[in-house]
Amino acid sequence: MARAPRTSSSPAPGVLASLARQLVSEWRAGPIHRLTLMGPPPSGLAAWPRNPRPVSEAAGERLLRGGFQLAGRTLEVGAGGDPWDRPCPDEAFAVALHGFGWMGDLLTCGPPGLRDGLRLWRGWRRLFDRPGVFGWSGLALERRVFNLACTVPVLLPLTTDVEAGLFLADLARQARHLLSDPGDPGRRLERAIAATLAGVALAGPAGEGLIREGLRRLERLAPLAALPDGVHASRSPERGLELLFDLGALDDALSQRGAPAPPEAARAIDRLTGGARFFVLGEHRLARFHGGESGNREATATVLALEAARVQIMKTAPYGRYQSLEGPRLRVIADAGPPPSGDWGRAACVQHAALEAAVDGRRLILGSAWSAAAPESAAALAGPTGGSCLALADVWPEAGEVRVERQEAEGGLWIDMVHDGWRPSFGLVHARRLFVDGVGGELRGEDQLRVEGVGAARPGQVPFAVRFHLAPGVAAEAIEGAAEVRLQPPDAPAWRLKSDAPRLSLEPGVVFEAGEALQTTVVVLAGETTAGQGARVRWKLSPESDG
């Protein structure tokens, strides 16, 4: 997109923003700000917050042996080793390490895990217990306050009265610091929840002050983050599930103190629970869109077991802009909206009309191969080539508008999605029609490039490709002599994908989970068009038993 020429010698907005962040960072590390963090000391514990996220005893045993596996990287320090006095593999690992999310796994190991958790917490305080050093801002600070609020009550019985007082005062100080952290604007609600949770755990004026300010922010921010249909404003299914867990921990802790959750928090919990159920596909895994990962089965099973979730799964998410299509043996979720923007768009993927499909209870096609935890080298996968959608000449479309129409009949249902993101550059719009046969259960699709408007026409042929990123573990085999691929999910019947595209091929691909690249396969339906001609590709996904 062309930008207007600069007519002023004033600094660019990005430079000013960078200078402002630097000044705030320096002030927050200074002595005056440190004094403001002191506050009244906590008089003890008032509640025992519980993190509803599932924990892994196997991961805890690995931690006891000194193996830290975080953000797709590994750091071996040996049993009784210190991870704080050595370099981390990368920044994502360091954020996860300083966020203390691993503490829950370690505490599953009984007394040895408790003693090691206390040792590691003491080691962190020895080197990093002051603002201005790494881990005192952003995601690391947010998650550490949340996780320590849930684990400090478990560790206190192992300490002396003096050390217990220091630990509680330290939690209050970090929570106050968190409330002043500008951080990611899209995570303001998560920061408010973490600080409030720490306040609920702490007795006396120290806790009351944190609760008062945290709930004031929560009441304002919760309706912005949790849309009426339960989709997170970032449009990431995983972000919605993680926010639900945070709110659930706060709701439980407040109930321990005889204080009901504020109306906006309770409303957000109900919404997000329904949204999480909407996005659960095969193997109890979440659909992958806009930087969100599939999560683990235990996490989604926790949500599915909630009493509040015993409602019919939505067919559409009109506010979050997703569509669901269901047949006898398959379910499809389609991204029927533009990428999120502004504060919510940091992990946005430009993958218009991308779909994810599960068959016979198994994931088959993934909506996106990219993850917000992926390394920077994988950034290209946040574009059309990384989604199960159409890509045109490897050019990222503009956000544009997406028009959606849904129709249901006795024999099946279909949706039409049209976006105009390539109109400025090619004079083309992309239309995707998805139809699910209500009897046979097959999925039929049609992707069209329609001539609409005048674009910046390019000479010669323009390549396009419709991609389907297969879930890890799905075997793919091209059928010789036919434009067809046999897809074999683990422990489930095979399906076939057939197309009238000029070329059908299988290419190696990767899917990122927790920063780790998992090898997989991509089915590619390719062809060429011209800016003034358009193109059409039809394809069909059906059970192999149907022939």
pLDDT higher than 50, residue 426: yes
Give the mean model confidence (pLDDT) for residues 85-103. Answer: 96
Calpha distance 459→461 (Å, rounded): 7
Which two tokens mark 3? 């930008």
Confidence category of residue 532, pLDDT binned at 50, 70, 90: confident
pLDDT digits (tens, 9 = 90+) for 109-159: 999 999 999 999 999 999 999 888 899 999 999 999 999 999 999 999 999
Please enumerate, as own/partner, the contacts of 269-273 that have beta carbons within 8 Å and a separation of 24 or more: 269/244, 269/308, 270/308, 271/226, 271/227, 271/228, 271/229, 271/230, 272/226, 272/230, 272/232, 272/240, 272/241, 272/243, 272/244, 272/247, 273/230, 273/244, 273/303, 273/306, 273/308, 273/309
Q: How far is CA 214 from CA 144, 173, 253, in A?
A: 16, 14, 14
Task: Kindly report whether the global pTM for this prediction surpasses the value 0.85.
Answer: yes
DSSP structure class, residue 353: T
Q: Which of the residue ranges 243-257, 299-313, 505-519, 528-542 would you say has the lowest mean pLDDT? A: 299-313
Q: Cα torsion at 524, 525, 526, 529 (round to 10°)?
A: -140
Amino acid at the residue 382: A
Say whether pLDDT at 296 is over 70: yes
> What domains, with CATH codes, occur in the chain?
24-225 (no CATH), 322-546 (2.70.98.70)
What whole-number distance in Å separates Cα of residue 118 and Cα of residue 130? 19
Whether 287 has a pLDDT exceeding 50, the answer reads yes
Q: pLDDT tens-digit profile of 209-261?
A: 999 999 999 999 999 999 999 999 999 999 999 999 999 999 999 999 999 89
Q: What is the DSSP string of 83-147?
A: GGGS--SSHHHHHHHHHTTTHHHHGGGHHHHHHHHHHHHHHHHHHH-STTSTTSSHHHHHHHHHH
Q: What mean pLDDT comes out for the span 385-399? A: 95
pLDDT band for 4, please (50, 70, 90 cuts).
Answer: very low
Give the pLDDT band of residue 400 (cuts 50, 70, 90).
confident
pLDDT band of 283, cuts 50, 70, 90: confident
At residue 530, the pLDDT reads 81
Convert the pLDDT of each residue in 300-353 to its tens digit.
877 777 654 455 678 999 999 999 999 989 999 999 999 999 999 999 999 999
Q: What is the pLDDT of residues 34-82, one digit of tens each?
A: 555 667 899 999 999 999 999 999 999 999 999 999 998 999 999 999 9
Sequence length of the chain is 547
pLDDT over 90 (residue 531): no
pLDDT tens, 450-503? 998 665 556 678 999 999 999 999 999 999 878 899 999 999 999 999 999 999
- Return the residue matching tokens 């999480």: 276
pLDDT of 298 reads 82
| Candidate from 162-166, 252-256, 511-515 with smallest mean pLDDT | 511-515
What tokens does 254 get? Answer: 């407040």
Lowest-pLDDT range of 35-49, 175-189, 406-420, 506-520 = 35-49
Q: What is the pLDDT of residue 8?
A: 35
